[in-house]
Amino acid sequence: MPDNVGYTATRTPVNHTELMLTEAQFLQEAGVGLWLQAPLTAVQAREDRILTCEFATPAGPWRVTPQVVVDTSGDAVVAHLAQSAFQPDSADACQPVSLLFKLAGVDFRPLMDYARRHPEEFRPGSVFPDAADEHVNLWGYTSLLQQGHRDGRLKLLRNEMHIAGWLPRGELVVNVTRHASEGRPDAEQTGDAWLALCRQVMAFAGWFRQSVPGCARAYVAAIGNQVGVRESRRVQGHYTLTQRDVKQGACFDDSIACGGFPVDIHSSLEPGLSHTDAVVRGFEIAYRSLLPLTPHNLLVAGRCLSSDHAANGSLRITATCFATSEAAGVAAALAVGRGCLPAQLLPAAALRERLLQRGAIISLDSACA
């Protein structure tokens, strides 16, 4: 659907539960073996190569001996355990964590009437669809949020929130909670964040019922299944994607994916976002950004790939993470097939060809075609 907030060109509403069920079907149809409740906990490396990966399964530790490893753990867990180098600013410049929640039982008529009567409360450029539309995005509620804080009902001061509504279903997905993060994931910090965020969800749900028109009978129908981490470790790779690359629409001979989302950086200290810079032309992502300096048989993809803080604010978005992860998977298969290391695929002509055959968008030219 067109993004009526004007932030991006389009948004893709999803029913999260059916999406999860569909993904399970895709995995089965593709013959993917799934290990559940089996986090990777240890890596043994020698001479800059990963020899074994160990998983903590309910039956005890399981060890595998991989030729090539793809790390899409978000937090770069494999790279961390294998002592890869990380971007120097990872720890002190990190976005806050959040927990999204879904409210059901929303009456959209008063909710939309309020938005139309108070356009100053919302992001400039917002277009308010009428209640006959199926979906709506709203970004704002500035004075209602500030009032909730002044009244003491909301401990967290926010001056904006994003809500995505599915009108015929009476459902709203709300992005407003936040908790500061140091970017060094550990079990205790994640546990503390989870408890703080759950408390915030309850406080915001109560505030919605009392203060947001159309929400008097709303209830929490779903929450994210884990703490939502926007940013943590970012590896240091053979190329680091920079803010300049993202802003200027960089192109690379070894490009394996494209991005185009605005640089979207939430602040841990301020009640809003610290950056919402437009990315006018889009940008390419080099295969070298998926290659950590060491170990040599590791690829990283998703939000932990080699990028600076600002560039990460754009490439961390789901579609771009899908694209870089697909490229890393195809590269790993090619490297295993050839019996070579991932870096030996450079300048990446065969990889790019394989991605194009799969319908991937790997250059700005094809993205604009």
CB of 40 to ligand FAD, least distance (A): 4
* 302 in contact with ligand FAD (CB under 6 A): yes
Q: Which is nearer to ligand FAD, 19 or 349 (CB)?
A: 19
Q: Which residues touch 120 (CB under 8 Å, ≥6 apart)?
A: none
Q: Which is nearer to ligand FAD, 48 or 326 (CB)?
A: 326
* 53 in contact with ligand FAD (CB under 6 A): no
Q: According to CB under 6 A, which one of 74, 148, 183, 342 is a site residue for ligand FAD?
A: 74
Q: According to CB under 6 A, which one of 77, 161, 193, 332 is a site residue for ligand FAD?
A: 77
* 201 in contact with ligand FAD (CB under 6 A): no
Collapse the DSSP code of 295 into the 3-class scheme (helix H, G, I; strand E, B; otherwise coil) and give the result. Answer: coil
Query: CA dist 99 to 127, 134, 191, Å?
Result: 27, 25, 13
CB of 339 to ligand FAD, least distance (A): 27
**Subset of residues 316 to 355 that bind ligand FAD, contact rule: CB under 6 A:** 316-319, 321
CB of 303 to ligand FAD, least distance (A): 4
Nearest residue to ligand FAD, by Cβ distance, number only: 302
Residue 170 backbone zone (phi > 0: left; psi -120 to 50: alpha; other: beta): left
CA distance 278 to 195: 34
Adjacent-strand bridge partners of 172: 103, 165
* 175 in contact with ligand FAD (CB under 6 A): yes
Q: Which is nearer to ligand FAD, 278 or 349 (CB)?
A: 278
CA distance 30 to 41: 26
Q: According to CB under 6 A, which one of 148, 165, 214, 228 is a site residue for ligand FAD?
A: 228
Minimal CA–CA distance to 146: which of 130, 138, 157, 136? 157
Reduced DSSP (H G I as helix, E B as strand, rest coil) percent helix, strand, coil of the chain, to 5: 35, 25, 45
Minimal CA–CA distance to 314: which of 13, 95, 150? 95
- Residue 221 has phi, psi (to 5 degrees) of -95, -25
CB of 258 to ligand FAD, least distance (A): 14
Query: CA dist 140 to 14, 258, 306, 350, Å?
Result: 22, 29, 33, 47
**Subset of residues 6 to 45 that bind ligand FAD, contact rule: CB under 6 A:** 39-40
* 172 in contact with ligand FAD (CB under 6 A): no
Q: Which is nearer to ligand FAD, 147 or 159 (CB)?
A: 159
Question: What is the binding site for ligand FAD (CB under 6 A)?
Answer: 39-40, 72-75, 77, 98, 100, 175, 228-230, 302-303, 316-319, 321
